[in-house]
Chains A and B, each alone.
Chain A
Amino acid sequence: METVAVKRKFSGKRNRLDKPELLAPAGNLEKLKFAIHYGADAVYIGGQAYGLRSNADNFSFEEMREGVEFAKKYGAKVFVATNIYAHNEDVAGIEAYLQNLYDAGISAVIVADPAIIEVALRAVPGLEVHLSTQQSTLNWQAVKFWKDEGLPRVVLGRETSFEEIEEIKANVDIEIEAFIHGAMCSSYSGRCVLSNHFTDRDSNRGGCCQSCRWKYDLFEDAREDTVWVSEEEMQMQAPAPFKLGDNQLPLFQEQDNSFSMGSKDLCMIGHIPELIDVGVDSFKIEGRMKSIHYVATVVNVYRQAIDAYMADPENYVLKPEWVEEMNKAANRPLNTGFFYDTPDHEDHIYEPEEKAVPYDFAGLVMGYDEETGMATIQQRNHFKPGNEIEFFGPNGTFFKQVVGEIQDEQGNVLDAARHPLQLVKMKVDQPVSYFDMMRKKK
């Protein structure tokens, strides 16, 4: 009888999700709820150890449990960023910490340091391990290495282009997560200790003080042993009069902007079809320190774009209002990072850095009476009759109106909604839903 060699196949993990996952940041429990309600398939949070945002109000295990419960109702998952580069003193507690995460119902940890990966795989097999972007993984053999180690997902370095992602997907059967929106290190993530040098704050353990966004002056050393061409040639090019032997020759003039390493923020809303077609499995939004308004706005837009493309790729069009929405949440100019090409001078910020977000989160819809058209709104920022406001929400709410009469819960007319979390009633021009947001132009 002939024996047929059966090639054993592991069914393993799916390498391609049915629909790309929209993964949003959640700096605290409230932000988690907004991110999920507004359309995130998964959120990533920080615990009280091993994370890179030591300034964020990170989750206790109790809060994690509550977050996981909330997420479950939406079929969403909660990941924990455990992405520091550990020091000796951090090693001993890793196993207990990861076990606690698993017990709290966390689906995956996002890890940079192999010391943590190794413990997670060995001691807490139910907990998925995703390789953090902090590992700056840019090539398919490195991705394959981590797959062979047992990781179902790799978050690529932000330096990876579309072309490179395509090659990685073609060579390795693994989930690929990529940042599609938010602030970016201009350095290779993890390869910057400016913060350590300037302020003794360890950037790779969450202490980053964003020195890359500070202002610097650029000079050239014109000592005779370092000059690279003739004095005459330098004279032609130097912004300031060139003097051979000078050890501090400015490469800028008085009125020029300073040198900076600060990058514009990533925004890929204009390129959803390419991201889906190239096979990115998880679309990641940066920003555990960002506001509720930011998270809700950005998640809401990407949710709509992804759903629109998946429903009907042929007739998909980028809606101008999606782009407008992004600008309402942004506090820095936006660009496409490394997806198409290496960023150049137009992708950096040399002008004064932060611009204020143009909109405030003014109120949260807590109820709506169809009969009267009155909405109950929880105040989140000062607003008063005559203010131009916008309502938006995950169920398609999207309209502008002017604030009319405002009443308190007893029906007394108010001149303004002054108090944080105060409940007020006002007439709205269109129906609204629970948890829709009301924003006000500053």
Chain B
Amino acid sequence: MSTKHELLVTAANVTEARALLQAGADALLIGDDRFGMRLPGNFSLEETAEVVAMATKHEARVIVSMNNLMSNELLKELPDYVQALGRIGVHAVEFNDPSVLAAIKEHAPHIHLHWNAEMTSTNYATANYWGTKGASRVVLARELNMDEITEMVPFLKVEAQVQVHGMTNIYHSKRSLVQSYMAHQGRPVEGHLGKERGLFLIEAERRDEKFPIYEDINGTHIMSSEDICILEDLHLMMEAGVHSFKVEGILKSLAYNEAVVRAYRKAIDLYEADAEAYAYDEEWLREVRELQDPERELSFGFFYKEQVY
């Protein structure tokens, strides 16, 4: 389904992709760990093609994450991968490294470019700068607040995307920190330290907050202890003209992500049908709350925080 606002969700595999499209997603974010970061799952080119075909039937789009920090070594693989994505017909690629921008322009210029520099996409001028380089969308930092987001939109010459639900990354290192810690203790690590392992950190002064931590080919990732949920105030961003709303599905079950997509779908559809009559209903979140990990709070994230420095 095609609407004015886009509801974007990550998928871990083809089965999830299908289910999330059925639940009402307008767009899917997928990718390959070598080029993307912190993806719920890895998609081969064949699987990517399958998802694109499936999405097309739903009039939905497929966006591929390529926002890794690239090494010289990875540069060699960019042209083939990008050309393949072009042939497959993915709608857009998320990038951070200028090498990806260059590869898309040279090898698959019809693919849209979405600039996603994670926590460092923090103002309209930089977003517009990447707009002049060919980007059509900025993925805003999750650390911005509602005022910063809504005030920014009129100045943007590109579309804005905001994460509205799920966990966020709060620390990324190239180092293998869990492995190093176990080695320091003299304990061998058997098996993997990936996201399915269920590892988490607790800071000495904050015993009730669990921060998931995992390792993959891109290093060590530490994630937030709470899940963003801004459904209640989604209309403020729709009103302001934010184009795309992202549901981050990493480290969540499919059932949970489906419930989240259905809830946001309902809000977006009702708002688009009649913005005047639109009123948030707590009931929309009931299913999400039932499935919510009791140890992870649903919070407004940074939407209503004032940060100092």
Contacts and interface: CB of A to CB of B under 8 A. Distances in A.
B182 interface: yes
A118 interface: yes
Nearest to B129: A114
A194 B123 contact: no
Interface stretch (A66-74, A256-264, A389-397): A256-264
Contact of B181 (A115, A134, A345): A345
A193 B142 CA distance: 10
Contacts of A205: 307, 309
A88 B151 contact: yes
A350 B184 contact: yes
Interface string B49-86: 00000000000000000000111101100000000000
Contact of A344 (B101, B126, B183, B197): B183
Of the candidates B69, B143, B181, the one having the most CB atoms from chain A within 10 angstroms of its own CB is: B181
A112 B122 CA distance: 12
A146 B202 contact: no
Interface in A172-217: 186-188, 190-194, 196-198, 200-202, 204-207, 211-212, 214-217
Contact of B175 (A186, A228, A233): A186
A237 interface: yes
Contacts of B120: 85, 112-113, 134, 190-191, 204
B177 interface: yes
A348 B98 contact: no
B70 A344 contact: no
Contacts of A194: 170-171, 222
B123 A139 contact: no
A260 B119 CA distance: 22
Interface string B106-128: 00000000000011101111100
Interface string A107-141: 00000111101100000000000000010101111
B103 to A, nearest CB: 8
B282 to A, nearest CB: 27
Interface stretch (B15-23, B28-36, B186-194, B259-267): B186-194
Nearest to B197: A228
A159 interface: yes
Contact of A140 (B72, B179, B184, B204): B72
A187 B171 contact: yes
Contacts of B295: 247
Given A114-B130, A145-B99, A194-B170, A216 B203 contact: yes
Contact of B129 (A118, A142, A188, A190): A118
Given A194-B171, A343-B175, A216 B202 contact: yes
B170 A192 contact: yes
Given A139-B71, A188-B172, A191-B171, A216 B187 contact: no
A86 interface: yes
A335 to B, nearest CB: 12
B174 interface: yes
Nearest to A223: B198
A139 B96 CA distance: 13
A219 B206 CA distance: 14
Nearest to A207: B309
Interface of B: 69-72, 74-75, 97-99, 101-102, 118-120, 122-126, 129-130, 143-144, 148, 151-152, 155, 170-185, 187-188, 190-192, 196-204, 206, 210, 213, 222, 224-225, 295, 302, 305-309
Interface of A: 54, 85-88, 90-91, 112-115, 117-118, 134, 136, 138-142, 145-146, 157, 159, 164, 167-168, 186-188, 190-194, 196-198, 200-202, 204-207, 211-212, 214-223, 226-229, 233, 237, 239, 247, 251-252, 256-261, 263, 338, 342-345, 347-348, 350
